[in-house]
Structure 1
Amino acid sequence: MIEEVKEKDLFCEYYEQWVSIYKEGAIRPVTLLKYNMTIKWLHELIPQVRLCDLDRMCYQKLINSYAEKHERQTTMDFHHQLKGAILDAVDEGLIKKDPTRKVIIKGKQPKNKKPKYLNQYELHTLLNNLNLESTINWDWFIYLVAKTGMRFSEALALTPADFDFSRQTLSISKTWDYKGKGGFLPTKNVSSVRKIQLDWQTIVRFSQLIKDLPKDEPFFTKLNGKIYNSTVNGILYRTCKKSNIPTITIHGLRHTHASLLLFAGVSIASVARRLGHASMTTTQKTYLHIIQELENKDIDLVMKSLSELC
């Protein structure tokens, strides 16, 4: 039931009602979980702060308290989730001035990050050490993600009908609700609906592997009753260890796929389409370090070409 909100009401209760009205049913369940986590933090950090008390200093103290236990990027995400509700409260006259103006985002020192992607030799070594049997197993899942750059939930939702062996393409049009009760869900965004070109080796292997399977049923989900990301990551971890290469996650295979394409000279636009990014900006932000490295190589090539001119 929607209750009338007054400026002397608690901010955490206003925010909880705001999430219920504006976010539930409008965003993906995994994103809604993040908003619900923000609600819990508000009840912990500022349980008695009223809407009318939320000024710049109060808001900065909230951000500082959250930042004591989180890295800067996580704190930035926390701030962005709050800001939408706060600006609505300002528009409604519940808060006099925008308390988020000129906020300083802090955070814990980031931990040393594990490698996010493999180089070409390391990926080749990994693929050679996979146990690619004559029936579907999780090693085939790892192989296909490495070859396509698909998201974890996209690969889980694959059915034999998604493969077009004559055109050497794989259609991505849905995801699998592995965090919930199972079943198909829409893709992350409109751009995620796409066709991925496959190499001939993958086409030959999967044409034999799935030829007798039901056309419209996801085949990877049959391997376990309840699927956990950690289960497949554990298999990949052990294979990386056995292969004597850096350990990465399934999502790291997606980074690996994109990185190798960029180093091979594939355009950012093509990589963005293949990964199903909403825009090239996402690709540029995610792989900025690689793009900068490639730009440095381009400069060397330009200088070399110019020096050879008469």
Structure 2
Amino acid sequence: MFLTDYYLREIKTYKKGQVRQVTYNKYRSNGRFLLENFPDLVLSKMTADDYQQILNKYAETHEKTTTTDFHRQLAWALKRAYNVDGILKRDVTFDAKIPLGKQSGKKKTKFLEIEDMRKLVQELKHENTPEANFFLILLKTGLRFAEALGITLDDVDFKKKTVSIDKTLNYKGRQKGTRAFAPTKNKYSIRTIIVDDAVLYMLWKNAKGADPDESIFFRLKGFQFNSTLNGKLKRACRKAGVPDITLHSLRHEHATYLVSQGISSMAVAERLGHADDTVTRAVYIHRLETEKARDNKEIAQKIASL
């Protein structure tokens, strides 16, 4: 049996329907890479050197983090071939080295300054389109894109001013001609968050004509592709005169703003649906460090003026 045949069989049997569709798509993408580059590699004859060559080849066109994910998924199948099916006589993935990979490109600006964030908010309020409303909701809630698309009227409590997050919208997959709701990223992502009157109004306004259990935004024209929405957000950023950001960046902006206003990292983590505040502190503490440096400079100037 060829490696490619075994890998594709295993992911279809044990991963399809068992992991999120986006994760399964990554497994399939890895299978295409194997088909294109190692179509004739016989599984039973594989050696550790063969496996390392596969990783080296993959790393030629991918960054190290992506190569690490590839290694994890391919190694899962090969360990089954060794431990479960007995096709391999040894674990060929043992002590494999992850190559440095392709050098990452120049990173785009990830965080807006508070002043730029307010400029963007004013521009989105001025546009007042369903897309602009959606961007504002993401900025004011920190929701993931698929979580925001999953919101229905049933999820909104207008009296308590909360939104319950217990599902996402599988916007990349189809089920009987309609988009299907899917589980949240993990159990920690199931949460209820407090929102302000502006978010409640935008949800109510865009939900006109929607069934209580129907996605508020996905049924509207222009919400079928995140690439289209990213393009509109980019145009809004340029109109506002601020650096370009993406839909997912709005989640970062929400978190960094709360951290900068003195909200605890644990409270921010719970709002974002993180298991704990480890990720929150590692990623969003950037805002605090930036402001700390600025404050220190200002302190030095004040002291010097005495």
**Are the counterparts in 2 of residues 263 and 294 from structure 1 also a CA contact under 8 Å?**
no
The aligned counterpart of 2:237 is: 240
Of residues 52, 77, 96 in structure 1, which corresponds to 2:44?
Answer: 52
Compared with structure 1, are the counterparts of its residues 103 and 116 closer, same or farther at alpha carbon in structure 2 (3 Å cutoff)? same
The aligned counterpart of 2:251 is: 254
2 CA distance for matches of 1:133 and 1:248?
Answer: 17
2 CA distance for matches of 1:26 and 1:281?
Answer: 27
Structure 2 counterpart SS, 1:222: coil
**1:166-185 superposed matches below 5 A:** 166-181=159-174, 182-185=179-182
The aligned counterpart of 1:220 is: 217
**1:18-37 superposed matches below 5 A:** 18-37=10-29
Shift of 1:59: 0.9
2 CA distance for matches of 1:49 and 1:212?
Answer: 56
**1:140-151 superposed matches below 5 A:** 140-151=133-144
Compared with structure 1, are the counterparts of its residues 265 and 208 closer, same or farther at alpha carbon in structure 2 (3 Å cutoff)? same
Shift of 1:235: 0.7
2 CA distance for matches of 1:152 and 1:174?
Answer: 12
Shift of 1:269: 2.1
Shift of 1:220: 1.0
Of residues 98, 101, 107 in structure 2, which corresponds to 1:113?
Answer: 107
* More moved, 91-100 vs 42-51: 91-100
Compared with structure 1, are the counterparts of its residues 173 and 208 closer, same or farther at alpha carbon in structure 2 (3 Å cutoff)? same
The aligned counterpart of 1:82 is: 74
The aligned counterpart of 2:260 is: 263
> What are the superposed Cα offsets for residues 53-104 of structure 1, whole Å, 9 maximum, x if unpaired?
3222111111111111111111111111111111112213322222222222
One-letter amino acid of the structure 2 residue matched with residue 45 of structure 1: N
Structure 2 counterpart SS, 1:223: coil
**Are the counterparts in 2 of residues 68 and 108 from structure 1 also a CA contact under 8 Å?**
yes
Of residues 192, 195, 204 in structure 2, which corresponds to 1:195?
Answer: 192
Shift of 1:17: 1.1
Compared with structure 1, are the counterparts of its residues 20 and 232 closer, same or farther at alpha carbon in structure 2 (3 Å cutoff)? same
Structure 1 unpaired stretches of 5+: 1-8, 301-310
Structure 2 unpaired stretches of 5+: 297-306
**1:117-156 superposed matches below 5 A:** 117-131=111-125, 137-156=130-149
**Are the counterparts in 2 of residues 148 and 257 from structure 1 also a CA contact under 8 Å?**
yes
